Chain A
Amino acid sequence: AQRVTQPEKLLSVFKGAPVELKCNYSYSGSPELFWYVQYSRQRLQLLLRHISRESIKGFTADLNKGETSFHLKKPFAQEEDSAMYYCALLTDSWGKLQFGAGTQVVVTP
């Protein structure tokens, strides 16, 4: 079964502290994974994807096939990082994404 699990519904961190959002997946083929971000009352937008292997807004994510994980990390959280974050898995050749339940990040000063 194709599944994306984000175990944390809410993550509260202090400004300047490291933040890590967990994402685990279940997929029989070669996975293609994404992180999307949704700021308050706005549209979802792509934050990064594993094939790009780039850092966006200080965030990085590494695909670990052994642990079937794609955790999102940032060494120093900023207040503007407060948002909902969704992990997503590409599940078919038409572009369907299986989204996780999302993690709400709150960065407090």
Chain B
Amino acid sequence: DAGVIQSPRHEVTEMGQEVTLRCKPISGHNSLFWYRQTMMRGLELLIYFNNNVPIDDSGMPEDRFSAKMPNASFSTLKIQPSEPRDSAVYFCASSSHRGRYEQYFGPGTRLTVT
């Protein structure tokens, strides 16, 4: 397996633009997590899914953020409109109960909003 795949790896956009981050979890994993990492706030859990259903989105900072998981092999995190304070590294991770919940992280998307 190629591991968790995220795209794009880097994104530079202007304030007000829509940004879509993509994630492909490891095949067979049934839980998917979106995190945001910044120097100031560290690692924050934004939302997570189990069997494609959102379980907890209390970490989503504002209504500008939304996430979907239309099937077991794909998830998106969308920011509309983007703001400079959204600049961060966004990680996706997946896990399964068979794997005793070890979370496998993707390489991250480094987002810069100017």
Given the interface pairs A43-B107, A44-B91, the reply to whether A90 lies near B43 with Cβ below 8 Å is no
Can you name 27 A-B residue pairings with CB atoms under 8 Å? A34-B102, A43-B91, A43-B105, A43-B106, A43-B108, A44-B43, A44-B93, A44-B103, A44-B105, A51-B100, A86-B43, A93-B97, A94-B50, A95-B33, A95-B48, A95-B50, A95-B95, A96-B33, A96-B45, A96-B48, A96-B55, A96-B56, A97-B101, A99-B42, A99-B45, A101-B42, A102-B43
Given the interface pairs A43-B91, A86-B43, the reply to whether A94 lies near B105 with Cβ below 8 Å is no
B interface list, Cβ under 8 A from A: 31, 33, 42-43, 45, 48, 50, 55-56, 91, 93, 95-97, 100-103, 105-108
A interface list, Cβ under 8 A from B: 32, 34, 42-46, 49, 51, 86, 90, 93-97, 99, 101-102
- What chain A residues lie within 8 Å of B107 (beta carbons)? 42-43
Count of A-B contacts judged by CB separation below 8 Å = 49
Residue of B nearest to A94 (CB): B50
Q: CB distance B55 to A94 under 8 Å?
A: yes
A105 to B102, CA, bound (A): 23
A59 CB, min distance to chain B CBs, angstroms: 16
Residue of A nearest to B106 (CB): A43
- What chain B residues lie within 8 Å of A43 (beta carbons)? 91, 105-108
A96 CB, min distance to chain B CBs, angstroms: 6
A86 to B56, CA, bound (A): 22
Which 3 A-B pairs have CB atoms at the shortest separation, nearest pair first? A95-B101, A43-B105, A94-B50
A5 to B38, CA, bound (A): 18
Q: CB distance A94 to B102 under 8 Å?
A: no
